[in-house]
Structure formats: C-alpha cells, structure tokens
Amino acid sequence: MTIFPAIDLKDGKAVRLTKGLMESAKIYSDTPWELVKTFEEMGAKWVHLVDLNGAFAGEPKNLEQIRAIRENCNVKLQLGGGIRDEATIQRYLELGIDRLILGSIALRDPEFVKSMAAKYPIVVGIDAIDGYVAVEGWGEVSSMRATDLARAFADAGVEAIICTDVGRDGTLSGVNVDFTLEIARASGIPTIASGGVKDDSDIVALQKSGEVSGVIIGKAFYEGRINLNNFF
C-alpha cells in the first residue's frame, strides 16, 4: 500500500484544513518544496498535492510553488485542484507532474474525464459528505452517492480513485475504512483512502483490509501523531 504524504497549497504556503474549510487553514511551511524534499528524503515515492485556491477558482493558482516543487524534488507527484480542461492537464504534464486528479469535473462531465483517462495519467477524486459527492472545493453537495459515481468509472481507464470523507478530513478522528472499501468494491479500481487519518493504527487497518491501494496522510504527520519512517 502506497503512503502519500499530502501538501495543500494556499496562497503559496503549505497548509492543512479542517473539514475543507479555507478559514481553518493552518500554515506548516512557507516553502512547500522544502517540505516535499523532506518527504523524499524520508523515502516517500509519491507526494499528494492540492491547489486549494485552484479548487475554488476552477483554474491553477499556485503554479509558482508547484514548479518549484518539481524543479527541486524527484519524488512522483499527483496533483489536484481546479483542473477542468485538457489544456490545464497538458500544462501540468509538461511541467513534470506525474498524474492529475479530476474531482468536480468527474461529477459534472464524466465523459470528459473518461476521454482524458484514455490519453493521460488520470486519477478521479471522489469527496463525500454523508455519502454524497461534494464538489467545488467541497462547497456544494450533490444528490449523487459517492459509490454510484465510483461505479461509473469502473472501466474508464483511470489509474486510481481517491476517496475522501470530508467530515473527517483534518480532524484526526480516524480514517473511514468502510467508506473506502465501499468505493473500492464499487469501482474495482485501485482506491486511495483520504480524510481523518489519526495514527499508525489507521494505516495498519487499511493494510489489513487487503483492498486499499494507498492512503493520504496530512495533519497526522504535521501534528506528530504518526512516524512515516515506519512505513517507507
């Protein structure tokens, strides 16, 4: 199971949010690329990046920081936040990003996502509040169940699905293992758990399930609740 240390970019800084609320942002670094380098030196193979400003604006907003990360670090990068068209996908791939996460657009225009997955390394991000898909930076909750959206991409050629229980994200209350397994079983696609990881026990529980391909870890690391050296 792949461990994805996470960095959320807001106004050029590395932050973490609680339940997706921008006003809850806690700054952990003014130089995000140095933080990515730390993860790389610890042994991480991948780092998960989110352009938070971009998620709300619907277009890239932290390009300077993303470029600095790519130029200074060799770890693989998966990036999401505000990616809504093919031009943006191409721009990021030319910048050296390894794969792109399509979230809100996966609900709005699933056929577009499928067409992109046929050409590019695409991951679908499914964020849920009480089991229903949340979009536009989690500011809007749809009427579609997360498992139904996952099922829609079962044979679409996407590389993975990242599923986030928004209610747990940044709360250190424990990852939602059952929700992650529901998404994995509905889609048949490698599924990455996200939201609420509190300590080593969450990683162990996901590993024991045998059905989860990865886990995204943010605040648990930053707050000293988890030692990533134990898992690389």
Tens place of pLDDT for every residue, the chain, 232 residues?
999 999 999 999 999 888 777 888 899 999 999 999 999 999 999 999 999 999 888 889 999 999 999 999 999 999 999 899 999 999 999 999 999 999 989 999 999 999 999 999 999 999 999 999 988 766 678 899 999 999 999 999 999 999 999 888 888 999 999 999 999 999 999 999 999 999 999 999 999 999 999 999 999 999 999 999 888 8
pLDDT of res. 37: 97
d(Cα 2, Cα 105) in Å, to the nearest integer? 25
Alpha helices in the chain (DSSP H): 32-42, 52-57, 63-72, 86-95, 104-108, 110-117, 146-152, 177-187, 200-209, 219-222
**Cα of 193 vs its chain's centroid, Å:** 9
Cβ atoms of 176 and 182 closer than 8 Å: no
Give the structural domain span for 135. Answer: 2-230
Q: Is 109 a catalytic residue?
A: no
- Domain total in the chain: 1
Tell me the C-alpha distance between 117 and 175, whole Å: 28
Which tokens hold the place of 135? 């979009």
CATH code (residue 46): 3.20.20.70
Q: Which of 127, 165, 169, 202 is catalytic?
A: 127
Residue 127 appears among annotated catalytic residues: yes
